[in-house]
Amino acid sequence: MAFIKIDDITPGMSLASDLRSREGRFLLPQGAVLSERSILTCKAWGVTRAEIVGHEQEELTEARMAAIPPKFIMQAGQYIRPYLNHVDHRHPAIEEITRIAIERTAQRIAAGTPVWCDDGDGDCPHCEMVPGKSRLGDDGPRAVLHLVREQVGLISMPDIFYKIMQVMESPFSSASHIADVVAKDSSLTAKLLKLVNSAYYGFPSKIGSIRRAVALLGTKELTSLAFGISVVNTFDRIPKKVMDVESFWKHSITCGIYASLVSSWKQNLSGERFFVAGLLHDLGRLIMLKGMPDACREAICLSRKERMPLFLAERRVIGFDHAHVGGLLCREWKIPGSLEQMVRYHHAPAKAENIMEAGIVNLANLMASFTSPGACGEGVIPPLCATGWESMGIDVSDLYPAVVLAERQLEEIIQIFIGRE
């Protein structure tokens, strides 16, 4: 008898112990024979594993991998492993995420689905420039603040952005207030309604109005989503020669989905807030690309050539990294401090006021990076913060169900956020 991942459980298996939801709600008794319907019910309640009679997880994992031709598993491993220079291979979460990434990549290769191709030799458009003296030296702290304020002044944010900011700042915002603000922007309204009616939420009936969406999600939660959508709409016109902005937002949205899923494993956390934190975690990169494109390209080149995390390459080339810039941007926008902390410390959760919250975004970013390694120019997968992982108190068996669930939601959410009308 052992715990089996929910996606490896099949009809006819028997429970070796009582099954409860994460909140402690009794679902099924010991000895119950599982049906397709009961398995779906367990998934709906957020169950990620169950103790099953007569089965071991290792045998089921091996059977799943055995169904994939070995040549595709080998190709997937050759593709993934060059990006693992800066992760702790001994950490159980890294072992599990690497195994999942190889399995899912092998399945994509077998199906003929394109995967991001990077030959790893550093020969990229960014490397055509001649490296220069980009580091800002002792004036770095003042320079980074000047960069952020200068770019904020140049960015033409829509009126709806500032109205949403007022709602976020006000402790007296009501459901009718946010509904009235959002309803004045037809494009934002359409995207929000598509989002709340998507598989991401899975409401049993169609939500036809913003007022109904506010009633179901809450004022602050819907405001956070509206804020995230307005930011994406504003930063969607960066030239492709500077960055593939579509790949950037796909990574950011993927990070947001994982952050929301991981946060759902803990009680009393707002999934919307973590989704937005994941969505915005790399926003500092866009600010830096707008204000110092040559230095950013040099950092990307260094990251690819030396196979080092981009945030470390940025520190070496420029003197600060995109997480620092993103945190200052959040502060300039006066968005809630908890979001600022998650963005600012997504590469260093141990420095955050709330280690667990920053740790969730750190883990989500790593999982999103495994989805398409190198797609945004980064030379390696960023490291997992062990302290952040420990603060979450989750099990590695939770990771595979999260990947499966994220894959079901991803394309629809990406289309909502960056699809053309």
What number of H helices and E strands is found in the chain?
20, 4
Average pLDDT over residues 184-197: 88
Compute the radius of gyration of the chain from its Cα atoms.
Answer: 22
| Percent of residues, the chain, with pLDDT higher than 70 | 90
49-52 and 26-28 beta bridge pairing: unpaired
pLDDT (mean) for 198-214: 85
Q: pLDDT class for 241, splitting at 50, 70, 90? A: low
Taking only the tens place, the pLDDT of each residue in 11-62 is 999 999 998 876 678 889 999 999 988 888 887 777 878 888 888 887 887 7
CA dist 366 and 300 (Å) reads 18
Quote the CA–CA distance of 106 and 220 in Å, as a whole number. 40
Using pLDDT thresholds of 50, 70 and 90, give the confidence band for residue 172: confident
| DSSP-derived 3-state class of residue 245 | helix
> pLDDT category, 237, cuts 50, 70, 90?
low
Residue ranges per structural domain of the chain = 1-57, 125-418
- pLDDT at residue number 328: 93
**Residue 254's pLDDT is what?**
93
Topology, domain 1-57: Molybdopterin biosynthesis moea protein, domain 2 (3.90.105)
Distance CA 208, CA 28 (A): 35
3-state secondary structure 100-121: HHHHHHHHHHHCCCCCCCCCCC
Taking the C-alpha atoms of residue 329 and residue 154, their distance in angstroms, rounded to an integer, is 13
Q: What is the pLDDT of residue 61?
A: 79
Say whether pLDDT at 238 is over 70: no
What average pLDDT does this structure show over 168-177? Answer: 76
Would you state the pLDDT for residue 257?
93
Greatest C-alpha distance within the chain: 68
User: What pLDDT shows up at residue 40?
Assistant: 83
Rank 32-46, 176-190, 247-261, 363-377 by mean pLDDT and report only the highest: 247-261
Predicted local confidence at residue 361, as pLDDT? 97
Say what the pLDDT of residue 420 is: 56
- Confidence bin at 281 (pLDDT 50/70/90): very high
Q: Count CB neighbours of 330 within 10 A.
A: 23
**In the structure encoding, which two tokens stand for residue 252, read together?**
């950011």
Identify which has the larger pLDDT, 349 or 166. Answer: 349
pLDDT tens string 64-88: 877 888 999 999 999 998 899 889 9
Residue 140: predicted pLDDT: 58
According to the model, what pLDDT value does residue 333 have? 85
Stated pTM of the model: 0.85
Closest-CA residue to 385 (of 352, 363, 353): 363
Residue 376 in this model has a pLDDT that exceeds 80: no
- 9-23, 112-126, 281-295: range with lowest mean pLDDT: 112-126
pLDDT tops 90 at residue 408: no
The position carrying tokens 């979001």 is: 339
CATH class of the domain defined by 125-418: mainly alpha
Decide whether 1-57 matches 125-418 in CATH topology. no
Where do the DSSP E strands lie in 285-372? none
Tokens, residue 28: 């099924």
Residue among 231, 287, 278 at smallest CA distance from 259: 278
pLDDT over 70 at 271, yes or no? yes
Please check the confidence at residue 152 and state whether its pLDDT lies above 90. no
Tell which residue, 268, 228, 286, has the closest CA to residue 418: 228
Tell me the pLDDT tens digit for each residue of 336-366: 888 999 999 999 999 999 999 999 999 999 9
- Across the chain, mean pLDDT equals 84
> Highest mean pLDDT range out of 47-61, 199-213, 300-314, 367-381?
300-314
What percentage of the chain exceeds 90 in pLDDT? Answer: 33
**Cα distance between residue 189 and residue 44, in whole Å:** 27
For residues 293-320, give the mean pLDDT. Answer: 92
